[in-house]
Amino acid sequence: MQNKPLKNLTILTFLLVLGLSGCAETPNEEGLTEYVEQDAQYNIKGTYDPFEGFNRAMWDLNYDYLDPYLARPVSIAYVDYIPSPVRTGIRNFLSNLDEPANMVNSIIMLDGEQAVTHFNRFWINTTFGLAGLIDIASSAGITKPGNRAFGDSMGYYGVDNGSYFMLPLYGPVTLREGVGDTVDGLYFPLNLLTFWQSLGKWVFEGMEDRAALVSQESVLRDSPDPYIFTRDAYIQNKNFRATGGESVAEEPEGEEYLDEFLDEVDDF
């Protein structure tokens, strides 16, 4: 989901304003000490949640109202009633739009092999797969590796996740991801999409992703603190992607839940 219009416009502006407001003053020694002490309480390295009160309020809105009464039923209806070939074609077409961005970010992350794979998938599926509706490349044995976003590229070179936010309906996002998705949206062919086309892409991909998580709902319900669990799973996934797919030494509480959950959110 590289090109996310809500994030590229209103959400990104919101994140940047909050992020810049935190940088308006040069931190003194006391401020740095406070930050370090605060960071020490997080289960996952790279987590910074300075707006936890706001985020928990948004979590309650999403978890108690927007998801059960809007996102979940719409997503399940889409999966249940839209014919599988149609869904597959839409999914293939939208995924193909991301391949150039995936290729560029693979190059930035010094992964030439994966960059070539994304390049070959794009031109093969675009040329012979009806603009990507049919995944000819996978049939030819050129399977798609994980997505690479510019936010992952920044993380690869040591840029922190930045502030964590929980947004209405959209869900979790970090400042690094918001900026990274904006850069990815500048690449062809994502830069050709209008706002409404980008919104449609985000909605269709979001319905597929939400439906895929139905089987993991019990894992979330059984966690001691669903908000913390979701935040830790999200940040751990971003840390993993920033390493280029290499494992990172993190053993948070509830690790047995995270392993299952991350299998589903790896492409978020």
What are 47-86's pLDDT values in tens digits?
A: 999 999 999 999 999 999 999 999 999 999 999 999 999 9
How much is the pLDDT for 141?
96
What is the number of other CB atoms lying within 10 angstroms of the CB of residue 143?
Answer: 11
H or E element in which residue 137 lies: helix 136-139
Predicted TM-score (pTM) of this structure: 0.76
Residue pLDDT, tens place only, 197-248: 999 999 999 999 999 999 889 888 888 999 999 999 999 999 999 998 765 5
Is the pLDDT at 41 greater than 50? The verdict is yes
Q: Looking at the chain, how many residues does it have?
A: 268
Neighbour-count burial of 235, counting CB atoms closer than 10 A to its CB (0-12 exposed, 13-18 middle, 19+ buried): buried
Domain boundaries, the chain: 5-20+52-247
In a 10 Å sphere around its CB, with 0-12 CB exposed, 13-18 middle and 19+ buried, how is residue 51 labelled?
middle
pLDDT at 245: 73
Query: Alpha-carbon distance 191 to 97, whole Å?
Result: 10
